[in-house]
Structures are given as C-alpha cells and as structure tokens.
A = this chain, B = another copy of it.
Amino acid sequence: MKIAQVTPLYEAVPPKLYGGTERVVAHLTDALVDLGHDVTLFASADAQTRARLVPVRDQAIRLDPAPLKSDLAAHMVMLSEVLARAEDFDVIHFHTDMVQFPMFERYADRTLTTLHGRLDMKDIDGVYELWPQFGLVSISDDQRRPLPFANWKATVHHGMPSDLYAFSPKSSGYLAFLGRISPEKRPDRAIKIATALNMPLKIAAKVDAADKAYWETSIKPMVDGNPLIEFVGEIGDHQKSAFLGGAEALLFPIDWPEPFGLVMIEAMACGTPVISFKCGSTPEVIEDGETGFLVDTLEQAIAAAGRAHLLDREAIRTRFELRFSATAMARRYLDVYADLLAKRPFAETPLDDVVTPLRPYEDKSFAIGA
C-alpha cells in the first residue's frame, strides 16, 4: 500500500527528548515499512526513518534556536507539499489534529487523522462538526468521550518496538515513578504508596518550568525527609529499560483523563506490572490481575503494589508483544487503511496492488534459460 505519514513538526521523528506523538509516528512508520509497505514520511529533516523522507523543514520546531518562528506557517508549508503529491498515495495519515482539514477536503476519503491529545477542550467540537468527512482514529476509547459525534473510524492503541526495551525476568525490589512532576500525575500518591509499604521508590521525572512551584512546595518536602524516596531526575531513552525493568511495579497514579500513557506499555515491555488508578485510558491498557492492577483508592493502590510481585512478568511481556508492539499497532492501522480503500467509491489503485496474488507473478523476460 502507498502510505503517507504526516507528523507534527514540533519534535524530531523520533524526538530527541520528550514528545509522545512524534515517537509514535516514528515507530508506526518503521513498522509499516517492515511489513512491506511503501511509506513516505513528511517531517523535519532531522527525522530518522526507514521510510522515504520528504523533509519539509530543516529541523523540528521546539529545539530550533531561531528566535522567531511560526508553527502554523511551518505546518501549512508541509501540508502544501503533501497536497501536491496527494495523488501518489492510497492513504494519507495525518497526526496533525485539524490544521489539514481545509486543504484536504477534496481528498478527505483517502485520509485518516489520528488525534493524539485530550479532546475535552473548548472550541474543538465546532471543527469536528464542520469537517465531518474526515475519518478519525482515537488512541483510546476513553479519549473519544468529549466528542462522541465525531467521525470515528477506529481506536488504535499505541505500540512500541519490541526490541527497544529488554525483558527483565526479575525485579530489584523497588517501586518506580516515571514522568513529569505535575499535579495531575500525582507523584504525591506514589510517595504515599511506597511509604505505607516501607518500600523504596525511585522517581525519574523532569520538572517543567510550569511545575516548579508544585515541586518546591508539595513534592520536594515529601522527598527530602524520606529515606525511602530517591529522586533520580530526568532519564533518557537508553536508561528506561534498566529503570523500568528493575522495578517491582510501575506506579501510575494519575488524576486526569490521559488519552494514552506510553509509560504503561514501556513498563510492560520490560515485564514490569503497572499499578494504575482507573482514569482515562488506563482500564483499556492494564488487564487487572494480569499485567497490573487497576485501583480506585490509595488503600487499594497500596494493597496492589504489595501484591505486584505475584504477577507473572513473562506473561506481561507476552501481552505487551501481542497488544502493544509497534507491529501490532501497524497491523491495526493497516486494517483501517484497508477499510478506507474498500469504501472509496472508485478506487484508483488497481486491484493487483492491493491484493497479494496467490501465485507470484512470473516475469518471463528475466527467466534464466528461457
């Protein structure tokens, strides 16, 4: 299938530091290539990809030191480039929210848009009402809740490459918290859980400028006096495997409707169970009593973290591979792409390009000894 992937330009593909969306686009793109598809990635020139790259900006926007830049202009220029080649693709897969709608009305039936953010935002419902012809993909069922009327085609959970995280058959006996220090991530709950169990907790987290006050007044005082808590600061991708793999459980005590928490599946990839509060997408990701525990209260969370060592780490890794590998994600998307193609009234692609023939085509002109 001839597929275009169109990413936001804020971070490199994959991101050099944070950035969930561009990371997922990177893994999806590579997985589609590995499955034999003809994939073109529209992204900034610093992308690392196995697909054909169309570089539309010299570098990703956020870390670009240029003092004055325009997000909107950068995306409009990229979209013009995609539009000029729209006829070349069977499917154009956007990860850019809504900015593409006005430009792609003519091609809406060959596009798919994955919404990566939360949707409980003022203003956006009007846009999805005005451009209902664009098919949408949610990254969890829960994410759809504020926009039930939108033109949802499927939910496709995120996936990560299986080889990015090493399976760790045994934990080193600590609890782990990985993410940002912010009120909605509830690091305070994580500290209370560890303290109640008298278990060590390692916190690997960045503190954004916006959350500085929360860190200083609410979390640092809880960390400072507590010998069980180790604040290791921010960690890079290459450290995650050891950090998560060594944990007896990942604590994910969030208090906001997170549309998809990548860190849950990163932990699962290492074989580490996840203790999640039932919130947002967590009940779709965690299988209670199998890959972790879903809890409603702090008391339940404490009990669950105390039982986490009883779960089968190998089974958790297996569930990750089955449900949340990049290949699993790519296969789900291919199903959605195929639905798009099937429903298009006059498919431009000859049937032979879509359906694998039963017998390989014999090219007689190159047959040796003919």
Contact = CB atoms under 8 A, between A and B. Distances in A.
Contacts of A70: 121-124, 127
Contact of A73 (B64, B66, B69, B98): B98
Contacts of A127: 70, 73, 76-77
Contacts of A123: 57, 69-71, 73-74, 77
A370 interface: no
Interface in A58-104: 64, 66, 68-74, 76-77, 79-80, 97-99, 101-103
Nearest to A64: B122
Contacts of A97: 72
Nearest to A80: B130
Contact of A76 (B57, B73, B98): B98
Given A76-B127, A127-B73, A127-B77, A68 B98 contact: no
Interface residues of A, number: 29
B66 A122 contact: yes
Contacts of A76: 98, 101-102, 126-127, 130
A64 B121 CA distance: 12
B68 A118 contact: yes
A120 interface: yes
A306 to B, nearest CB: 36
A118 B79 CA distance: 24
16 contacts: A64-B122, A68-B118, A68-B120, A68-B121, A68-B122, A70-B124, A72-B72, A72-B97, A72-B98, A72-B99, A73-B121, A73-B127, A76-B102, A76-B127, A77-B126, A79-B102
